């Protein structure tokens, strides 16, 4: 990374799962670098959803390096996810025609419930741990697939974990780490955010800030997606030998039984 910036810059890894992100500093100046970031980072930057994109450089080996303004701020805490600020930014993302057009231009196809279920069955064939426990939930997803059909497809982030929400010292909110972006039912993002962070009794109020009512259809779709996402989390941790985390999500899946909407 140093040869891209020139002499005098100090570069260190920024952490994260991919190991592709870096922090570069020259005196008081600080920037965030990433290798092969999402190709629609420029649109996200223009929309004010991520910190400002400064430049993009393609290397001889084909890798693309992006540089963004360093954000003086912090990650949101789990308890802060029920704020209006979060609802309004997610609403802006889901309503953005610019983001949707960009994802379509780079070849993204809408993620259907059938594709989600097919991927889970594929993972099941590769990983039979917890198979007996998970089978009834796969049956639930199959049985209710007709109830979650929608013609409303938007840009979804896919991982609205509180660690991906950054708030600046000026109280500006950003959503980062767009590598898993997809075109999907907005219920996919809403399910994760509401089930993980917002008490049931506050869903209606939170969704009013987001801009839609809490309908019976939305409840069904969100529940379907949170079950699917939880099964995916179990497999993800099993595949990496992370038994404790897999067990945590298995217990969470059992708890979801109490909230099934028909």
CB 132 within 8 A of CB 139: no
Q: Give the separation between CA 96 and CA 1, rounded to whole angstroms.
A: 33
What is the four-CA torsion angle of 171, 175, 176, 181, rounded to 10 degrees? -170
Q: Which residues are catalytic?
A: 159
């Amino acid at each position: 990374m140093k040869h891209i910036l020139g002499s005098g810059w100090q570069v260190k890894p920024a952490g994260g799962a991919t190991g592709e992100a870096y922090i570069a500093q020259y005196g008081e100046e600080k920037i965030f670098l990433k290798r092969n970031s999402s190709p629609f980072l420029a649109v996200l930057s223009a929309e004010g959803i991520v910190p400002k994109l400064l430049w993009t450089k393609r290397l001889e080996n084909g890798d693309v390096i992006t540089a963004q303004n360093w954000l003086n701020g912090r990650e949101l805490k789990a308890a802060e996810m029920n704020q209006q600020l979060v609802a309004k930014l997610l609403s802006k993302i889901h309503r953005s025609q610019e983001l949707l057009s960009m994802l379509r231009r780079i070849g993204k196809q809408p993620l259907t419930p059938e594709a989600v279920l097919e991927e889970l069955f594929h993972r099941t064939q590769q990983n039979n741990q917890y198979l007996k426990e998970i089978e009834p939930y796969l049956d639930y997803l199959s049985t209710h697939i007709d109830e979650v059909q929608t013609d409303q497809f938007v840009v979804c982030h896919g991982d609205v974990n509180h660690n991906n929400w950054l708030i600046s010292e000026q109280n500006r909110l950003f959503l980062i780490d767009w590598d898993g972006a997809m075109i999907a039912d907005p219920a996919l993002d809403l399910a994760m955010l509401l089930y993980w962070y917002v008490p049931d009794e506050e869903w209606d109020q939170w969704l009013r800030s987001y801009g839609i009512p809490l309908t019976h259809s939305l409840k069904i779709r969100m529940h379907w997606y949170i079950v699917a996402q939880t099964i995916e989390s179990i497999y993800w941790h099993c595949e990496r030998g992370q038994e404790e985390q897999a067990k945590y999500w298995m217990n969470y899946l059992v708890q979801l039984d109490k909230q099934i909407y028909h």
